[in-house]
Amino acid sequence: MSPQAAGLHAGAARAAAAGSALFWAFFFYGLIDLVVPIDQTPGFYDYYLLETGWGVLYTFLVGLAFVSLAARPDMVVPLAQVALVAGSLTVTALAAGSWVQLAPAMLLGANCYAVLMLTQRQAALPTSWYRLRLDPPTGVAAVILAAPAVLFAFEMVMGYREGRAPLDDDTAGIDHWPTQAALGLAVAAVAVLVAGGVRARWSGTAVSASCLAVATGWFGFWSAVYPDHAGSAGRAPGLALIAWAFAFAGLVWWRLASSRAPATR
């Protein structure tokens, strides 16, 4: 491919990633729902955690990933992170019977594929990704988070299936309970992805670790502030999430810096 053609593809990939970030984080109400507890939006008191959970998913795990790809479209882990969010939305939609949630799941999956094609598959995971091996320290941290995150997702699915209050909290016609479940699954999956990325030295690992730390820290904070609200993790788990976010981010950056040290010397 000529340098001119390569430049056109890179520019198109950046534009697609930037447009995707704007769509999911703004037009799909990511930022708007994220700040509901801060704004204390009238009429949404009982929905604070379900609202901000939607915002965490579409702002931090999707929107920020696409922002990073707008800067460097060839990064592997951020695009895989968004694909995992799409998969989590699909799984929880099927588990809860919330068929309308399949719409953003499929749209997000198609979005990932479009960006991948525009990068000429430079942002694709290696073909041996299924033989993923985790970096031991970050892998332990990921496993510590994964079990309660999956249990949280199960509780959110049951909240929808059992018709727990609130029954009318939805965005774009999509109920927030199954989306809250997708947040739990996505957090667990991305933590494992990052632990594998640290060991395999995949590009964008630090970016995804940062997205995950901000997501878990934010959700943990509001869960601790409003422990009894629908969709909350609770006060003690919320505080644990904040501690985990700081520990995981520091651990990833330390492991990545350690891996570069021999080459520097």
pLDDT, tens digit (0-9, with 9 covering 90-100), for 161-186: 999 999 889 998 999 999 999 999 99
Strands 174-175 and 170-171: antiparallel
Neighbours of 166 (CB within 10 A): 17
Which residue segment(s) compose the domain that 139 sits in?
3-260
Neighbours of 144 (CB within 10 A): 15
Q: Categorize the per-residue pLDDT at 258 as very low, low, confident or very high, splitting at 50, 70 and 90.
A: confident
The residue type of 255 is R
The SS3 of residue 181 is: helix
196 within domain boundaries: yes
233 within domain boundaries: yes
The CA distances from residue 83 to 2, 66, 149, 170, 183, in Å, are 30, 11, 18, 23, 13
Residues contacting 117, CB < 8 A, separation 6+ = none
What pLDDT score does 265 carry?
Answer: 33
Q: Has residue 253 got a pLDDT over 50?
A: yes
What pLDDT score does 9 carry?
Answer: 66
Q: How many CA atoms lie within 13 A of 216 on its CB side?
A: 32
27 within domain boundaries: yes
Q: What is the pTM of this model?
A: 0.94
Neighbours of 127 (CB within 10 A): 7
Name which of 184, 181, 190 is nearest 94 in CA terms. 181
Q: Categorize the per-residue pLDDT at 119 as very low, low, confident or very high, splitting at 50, 70 and 90.
A: confident
Average model confidence (pLDDT) for the chain? 92
172 within domain boundaries: yes
**Better pLDDT: 41 or 242:** 242
Spatial distance between the Cα atoms of 184 and 68, rounded to a whole number of angstroms: 22
Q: Has residue 5 got a pLDDT over 70?
A: no
The residue type of 174 is I
The residue type of 145 is L
Q: Has residue 70 got a pLDDT over 50?
A: yes
The SS3 of residue 53 is: helix
Q: At what angle do helices 48-55 and 205-225 cross, to 10 degrees?
A: 170
Q: Categorize the per-residue pLDDT at 259 as very low, low, confident or very high, splitting at 50, 70 and 90.
A: confident
What pLDDT score does 264 carry?
Answer: 37
The residue type of 38 is I
What pLDDT score does 245 carry?
Answer: 98
Q: How many domains does the chain have?
A: 1
Neighbours of 156 (CB within 10 A): 28
217 within domain boundaries: yes
138 within domain boundaries: yes
Neighbours of 159 (CB within 10 A): 22
Q: Please, what is the Cα angle at 245 between 243 and 250, to 5 degrees? A: 100
How do the residues of the chain divide into helix, strand and coil, expressed in percent and rounded to 5? 80, 0, 20
265 within domain boundaries: no
Residues contacting 132, CB < 8 A, separation 6+ = 192, 196, 200
Q: Has residue 107 got a pLDDT over 80?
A: yes
